[in-house]
Amino acid sequence: MTGVTEAQVLDALRKVVATDHGRNVVELGMISGLVVKGSNVGFVLEVDPAAGTALEPLRKACEQAAAALPGVTSATVVMTAERAPGTRNAPSPAHTHSHGGHGHGGHSHGRPAGNAAGSTPGGPPQVGQKPAIPGIRSVIAVASGKGGVGKSTTAVNLALALQTLGLKAGLLDADIYGPSVPRMMGISGKPESPDGKRLLPMRGWGIPTMSMGYMVAEDTPMIWRGPMVMSALEQMLRDVAWGELDVLVVDLPPGTGDAQLTMAQRVPLAGAVIVSTPQDIALLDARKGLNMFRRVDVPVFGIIENMSYFCCPNCGHRSDIFSHGGARRTAGELGVDFLGELPLNMAIRETSDGGTPIVASQPGSDEAKAYLAIAEKVAAKLAAAPAQAGPRIVVE
């Protein structure tokens, strides 16, 4: 049997009528980013921000209409409130979207308008207002100027090390295009939403986590434009029942793009940690990342030199494969702290790939102690930084 086509999906959705308009969702231009991959269907339902989660039944109706088509095994509908007030009848720009073969179990990804302090009615928080996140005392970003420097491994082990020091820590995987926290933390499955409004974080090694990797298959590409990335980040931050946390560690994607700016401009970051390898080309990009945070008034806690050296497990000979000391020198030149160095080590790689982070699975190892030493410096920075400002937020 041949697979379902986009035209068939749209025909099915034409039977779903938005009762407040008396017209179907396709005619109203509410469907965007339609992707059909084999027997899996995914698309975005764009709604008026003023409606918020009141349109969750409409989202479910769209999901059921698509899932009922012959040959469809799963349908995923993400509801977003991207439109400005007064434009609900206008067709929305098409956001290219792929959600692969995973459904969301009926929960909504649309953030209710106005549920964040400092937001304008029917719209997202304005740049610079940085509404607080309920229950979370401090948020820190782990960033890098380029990929391949071990940033995610550092973020995971830093969160676990902060927990070891007695802090209630959480971990957010903000790398929408390349989420790696589920694998590194050894967590599988999908988050639940008992109330249909907020997701429960997935827990691993004693800490709550959230990642786009829980929503899609591991090999499914996320083909999203900037606005969708920003919306997803806001939802993973504010529509998750994080509970009471001393610190939320955010693993940012590499570079200085939409995700980094969203976090820096819309979230009250207590500070940022820059991860780099020692060689000059990586440090050039690390400088860019550091300067980006400075431009948006986010304190930089310091620089970590990852893959700083390699010690042969057989003979103990040390080799500086990627040079050594470059991050320390750069930190001095830029007037920020050098937080520490981490080795290029097979055990770190194996535990990360195996979902058993070295800080949790081998706490007595020299590598785990190196992460703990860095975490102690970060914890001291957090203790000296003010807690996130702003009123408490109640999401209803």
Residue 128 pLDDT: 40
Per the listing, tokens 């800080």 go with 359
Q: How many Å separate Cα 28 from the centre of its chain?
A: 31
Confidence of residue 118 (pLDDT cuts 50, 70, 90): very low
| Residue 270 CA, distance from chain mean position | 17
3-state secondary structure of 223: coil
Tell whether the model's pLDDT for residue 97 goes beyond 60: no
Per-residue confidence (pLDDT) for residue 246, from 0 to 100: 95
Per-residue pLDDT tens digits for 324-352: 888 888 889 889 999 999 989 889 999 99
Average pLDDT over residues 384-389: 62
Q: Could you give phi then psi for residue 273, rounded to 5 degrees?
A: -115, 125
**C-alpha torsion angle, residues 45, 48, 49, 54 (rounded to 10):** -80
Domains with residue ranges and CATH for the chain = 1-124 (3.30.300.130), 136-211+225-384 (3.40.50.300)
Q: What is the pLDDT of residue 49?
A: 67
The yes-or-no verdict on residue 74 having pLDDT over 90 is: no
What are the φ and ψ backbone dihedral angles of 57, each rounded to 5 degrees? Answer: -60, -35
Q: Between 322 and 242, whose confidence is greater?
A: 242
